[in-house]
Amino acid sequence: MEPILQVSGLTKTFHANGKPDFTAVDQVSFLLYPGETVGIVGESGCGKSTLAKLLCRLLDVTEGTIRLCGQDITKARDRELFGAYRNIQMVFQDPLTSFDPRRTLGDGIGESLRNAGVSKTERERRVVELLEQCGLSETFAGRYPHEVSGGQCQRAAIARALAIKPKLLLCDEATSALDVTVQQQIMELLKELREKEKLSYLFICHNLALVQSFCDRVLVMHEGKIVEEGTTDQVIFYPQSDYTKILLDSIL
C-alpha cells in the first residue's frame, strides 16, 4: 500500500536579524498510510504546530520533502497547491479565529466549493448537508462565528474541512480549547467521520488519553526531532526513549 503522506528529512529553520538561527523542525521523517490515524505528542514548543504548518504549506520548508498522494508538494504554489488542498485539510485549535468574523459560517464552509466552481444552488445544498453531517442544523449556515459556542464553531470548522472531500485531516490541538464534555463529543464526531468517509488523520495533541483512544501509531517530538515512534500501546506502555518516559511520567 502506498503512503498517503511521505515526509522525508523535513526541516524548518527561522532566521532572525541579530539572533541565532532557530531550528523548530529538525530532519523529521515519517509515513502515514490510507485509513491510518497517527498522533504527534510532545511538550509545548517541541515543534508540533510548526510541523503542521509545513505539511499544509502555510510555512515554507527549509530542507526535506513532503509527498502527498504521490505528489511532491514541498514547493507547490498557486494552482498546484490548490490541487494539494483537495487531499489535505487542517482543523485548527481555535475555531473562532479560523473563520472570517464578517462572514457567516455557511460562507466559510462553502468557500472551497465556490473556489472549485460549484454553483450557488449546489453549494448551499452541500453546506446544509455538511452541517448536518457534523451535528448542526441548517440554521447555523446563517450564523456568524461569534454567535455560536466553541464546540459548535469547531463542528462548523470540521464541516468546512470536509467540503472538498479530502483524504487526510490534520488536526492541530483541535479539542484543547474545549471543555471536557464538548471535547469528547468532538472526538466521537471525528471517529464517526473516519469510518464513514474513510479518512486518514494526523492528530497533534498533548492529551495522551485522547491519543490512546484515537490513534493507531504515535510519534513523539522533542526539540524539533522525532525521538520515538510506534503503535500507541507500544509508546505509552513500553517507552524506549528517556524523553518519552519523562513525558509520560509528567502526564500520567
Tens place of pLDDT per residue across the chain (252 aa)? 899 999 999 999 998 777 778 999 999 999 999 999 999 999 989 999 999 999 999 999 999 999 999 999 999 887 788 788 889 999 988 888 889 999 999 999 999 899 888 999 999 999 999 999 999 999 999 999 999 999 999 999 999 999 999 999 999 998 887 888 999 999 999 999 999 989 999 999 988 888 999 999 999 999 999 999 999 999 999 999 999 999 888 876
Residue 215 forms part of a structural domain: yes
Output the CA–CA distances (angstroms, integers) from residue 198 to 36, 190, 247, in the order listed.
Answer: 9, 11, 32
Hey, how many other C-beta atoms are within 10 angstroms of the C-beta on 152?
A: 20
C-alpha torsion sign, points 59, 244, 251, 238: positive
Residue 19 forms part of a structural domain: yes
Q: Phi then psi for 146, rounded to 5 degrees?
A: -75, -10
Residue 122 forms part of a structural domain: no
Residue 70 forms part of a structural domain: yes
Q: Which domain holds residue 24?
A: 1-87+203-252
**CA separation for the pair 205, 191 (Å, rounded):** 15
What's the total number of domains in the chain?
1
Residue 64 forms part of a structural domain: yes
CATH of the domain at 13: 3.40.50.300
Residue 143 forms part of a structural domain: no
